[in-house]
Amino acid sequence: MTTERKKLNEVDSGVVKNLQKVVNFMEEKKYYPVKRYLEIQRSAILDMEGFWSKEARDIPWFKEWDKVLEWEPPFAKWFVGAKLNACYTCVDIHMISWRKNKVAIYWEGEDGSTKSYSYAQLYREVNKFASIMKNLGVREGDIVVLYLPMIPELPISMLATARIGATHTVVFSGFSSQALADRINDTGAKYLVTADFGMRRGKHYPLKTIVDEALKQTPTVQKVIFIKRSEEEIELMDGRDFTYQELMEKAEKYVEPVAVESTHPLYILYTSGTTGKPKGIIHSTGGYLVYNYVTYKWVFDISDESIYWCTADVGWVTGHSSIVYAPLLHGATILVYEGAPDYPQPDRWWELIERYGVTIFYTSPTAIRMFMRYGEEWIKKHDLSSLKILGSVGEPINPEVWEWYYQVIGGERCPIVDTWWQTETGGIMISPAPGLELVPLKPGSATLPLPGIDAEVVDDTGKPVPPGKKGYLVIRKPWPSMLMGIYKDPERYREVYWSKFEGLYYTGDYAIKDEEGYFWILGRADEVLKVAGHRMGTAEIESVVVEVPFVAEAAVIGIPDPIKGENIVIFAILKEGYREDGKLKDEIVKALRKQIGPIATPKSIHFVEKLPKTRSGKIMRRVLKAIVKGETIGDISTLEDEASVEEIKTIFHEFKEIFGKDDSNKSEN
Ligand code: WTA
């Protein structure tokens, strides 16, 4: 037995002991349903490989695996030796069943235009698009960047890329040209698929101009496909730019799906961490699909009758797993909506749910908080009785918001699945699982880890903390949809996730586990922000602010926000000779929108003389946060200069004024 294997087994006995304690507790409290969940969990943890290999047989493979798991910490390879194709598993497989004529995608644009695709139509489009890409030169192993709004061509492009064995990198279409260029350059991609515009709040936002700007800085890009949505002429560069529509006319009807290795990267998705540079998270094909197939059965009880709507943007991981891959693997019908949630009026979403008969609705706490503000009358206008399960993702959901969601949207009929996961985990990790066994819900808790997921809350030394105590959320064992690494940076992968605690995956989140083993996720423990559920790093924002010519230094913190969960506040020191004249703040906002996108628009900016720093020059964001939130500052013995604290305290009144009246009623995205 290898040492690693031994270590795994040591962990096993601890987990099983803990589970037994929980089982006893549940029995005492007569929580019988949980018993079955715990039995499955126990068998999954005791025979992890057996458990996952059994589940994996539910999706179609071209060749079975030789080995379920190759675990060379911290690198996991799942279903080694097996071959499959993601597009085949999501689309072709339904062509040999009655689902062929079932609706795969309902799409609706903000302006009311609609489209729908049966699985057979999706199959045709995907094949044609795969043939276009092939003709343009895309080959197995190439990276294709997709910078698209929420149109059906986005899932189509993803599936077509996967069909020919290439890897996609979707860039959220709200990101700026600079952010797009940075991502293209990190991947070194030769191919880009985009559109002429996107729709939001009654306006068309011009993707073409953003792309043109980005392409000036991306020397590797050789071919660009534009999906033309308007009649307007667009300027194309000869030999480089093509329109989708023209190419589709000449496309072939069938392209053989490439049988790729289970560990073949299905996609790379960039996400923010604690440094200025976003990380390219790599996800596998086999493990990723198996895990998402299984967990959607458990968490959403997804079935042939499901009309499934996840309101996220495909540009984030939630969209990858929850809009595209998991529901299509199941042959479900998905709804894709392009536009603002409250446009033209605040019942837009509820009207959509009623009209399409949505059964599973998955959204973010930010959206729910926004609709709470608008009031129940907008919801009462609509019949939401088709809903069966409600989901929440991306940030902690406050208990009062949970209650409102349960009562007003769910009519006290629908369980709420508060799903905790991350770009890196690829799939849902901690969540109620009504499709397996619904445990008693507790508003604000993501409840229990899904079977096979060995989560724990630990202290600074990596030891489990007692129930009710705050600690760091870690995962002790590999799981099938675990990230394969960070693109071109295995060292960073090791360092970010596996160096804080020996042998444990560090999530970056704080959590509490209560007496009954329920997990309460408290938010990030690192310098990562979740603003309206969008993930950004303070360092990423700071690096843009300090690039502004008149800024000498900057510190960014996240502060609680009643709607968005968290919001961005910037402190900056001006260079010698500059004074705020009413325009400088605007310049900073402009720079952020240009370098990152509108999601990085701060709540407020404050110019100060000094920033609280340690003697070694590290900015003490903790001190800034405490002052702003009006909390006790704690130990400042390492502080270099106390005058900085006094200065920020004086502008605290300014804060009270700003945060007293809240204007963040509208979602940025
Ligand atoms: C947070 C989104 C509380 C958490 C799928 C995590 C949550 C980060 C929840 C990942 C939840 C996600 N309750 N917090 N149910 N779900 N988070 O990569 O801080 O955009 O680390 O993935 O979102 O964000 P990401």
Query: Alpha carbon of 406 to those of 186, 401, 412: distances in Å?
Result: 43, 9, 5
Q: Does residue 15 have a pLDDT over 70?
A: no
- End-to-end CA separation in angstroms for the chain: 51
Q: Tell which one of 274, 530, 534, 540 to mutate to probe ligand 1, the residue whose CB is within 8 A of the most ligand atoms.
A: 530
Q: Which domains does the chain have, with CATH numbers?
A: 1-85+288-312+319-520 (3.40.50.12780), 527-665 (3.30.300.30)
User: Which of 37-51, 128-142, 433-447, 515-529 has the highest average model confidence (pLDDT)?
Assistant: 128-142
More confident residue, 10 or 336: 336
Q: Does residue 125 have a pLDDT over 50?
A: yes
Among 77-81, 580-584, 646-650, name the one with the lowest average pLDDT: 646-650
Q: Does residue 25 have a pLDDT over 90?
A: no
3-state secondary structure of 324: helix
Compute the half-sphere exposure of residue 401: CA atoms within 13 Å on the CB side of its CA: 25
- The backbone torsions φ and ψ at residue 400, rounded to the nearest 5 degrees and listed phi first, read -70, -30
Mean pLDDT of the chain: 92
Ligand 1 neighbour 396 (Cβ under 6 A):
yes
Q: Exposed, middle or buried, 121 (CB in 10 Å: 0-12/13-18/19+)? A: middle
Ligand 1 neighbour 12 (Cβ under 6 A):
no
Query: Alpha carbon of 274 to those of 315, 492, 508, 569, 588: distances in Å?
Result: 20, 11, 10, 17, 21
The 8-class DSSP code of residue 186 comes to H
Q: Residue 22 has what pLDDT?
A: 52
Q: Residue 616 has what pLDDT?
A: 85
Reported confidence tier of residue 439, pLDDT bands at 50, 70, 90: confident
Strand pairing partners for 536? 529
- The backbone torsions φ and ψ at residue 542, rounded to the nearest 5 degrees and listed phi first, read -60, -40
Ligand 1 neighbour 566 (Cβ under 6 A):
no
3-state secondary structure of 98: helix
Q: Residue 640 has what pLDDT?
A: 82
* Number of residues assigned to the chain: 669
Ligand 1 neighbour 421 (Cβ under 6 A):
yes
Ligand 1 neighbour 370 (Cβ under 6 A):
no
Ligand 1 neighbour 107 (Cβ under 6 A):
no
Question: How does pLDDT run across 210-251, given as a tens digit for each residue?
Answer: 999 999 999 999 999 999 999 888 999 999 999 999 999 999
**Atom number, ligand 1, closest to the C-alpha of residue 316:** 20
Q: Residue 302 has what pLDDT?
A: 96
Q: Residue 12 has what pLDDT?
A: 42
- The backbone torsions φ and ψ at residue 17, rounded to the nearest 5 degrees and listed phi first, read -60, -45
Q: Does residue 50 have a pLDDT over 50?
A: yes
Across 567-579, b (16+ Cβ under 10 Å) vs e yields: bbbbbbbbeeeee
Put simply, whether the predicted model's pTM sits higher than 0.75 gets the answer yes
Q: Whose CA is nearest to atom 14 of ligand 1?
A: 395
Non-local (6+) Cβ contacts of 286 within 8 A are 56, 61, 65, 78, 79, 82, 84, 261, 262, 263, 480
Question: How does pLDDT run across 460-485, given as a tens digit for each residue?
Answer: 999 999 999 999 999 999 999 999 99
Reported confidence tier of residue 275, pLDDT bands at 50, 70, 90: confident
Q: Does residue 540 have a pLDDT over 80?
A: yes
Non-local (6+) Cβ contacts of 210 within 8 A are 176, 177, 180
Q: Residue 667 has what pLDDT?
A: 40
Reported confidence tier of residue 649, pLDDT bands at 50, 70, 90: confident
Q: Residue 21 has what pLDDT?
A: 57
Q: Residue 657 has what pLDDT?
A: 59
Residue 31 amino acid letter: Y
| Cis geometry, peptide bond prior to residue 549 (ω within 30 degrees of 0) | no
Q: Residue 10 has what pLDDT?
A: 43
Alpha-carbon distance of 92 to 397, in angstroms, equals 38
Question: How does pLDDT run across 366-375, given as a tens digit for each residue?
Answer: 999 999 999 9
Two tokens, residue 514: 């209560």
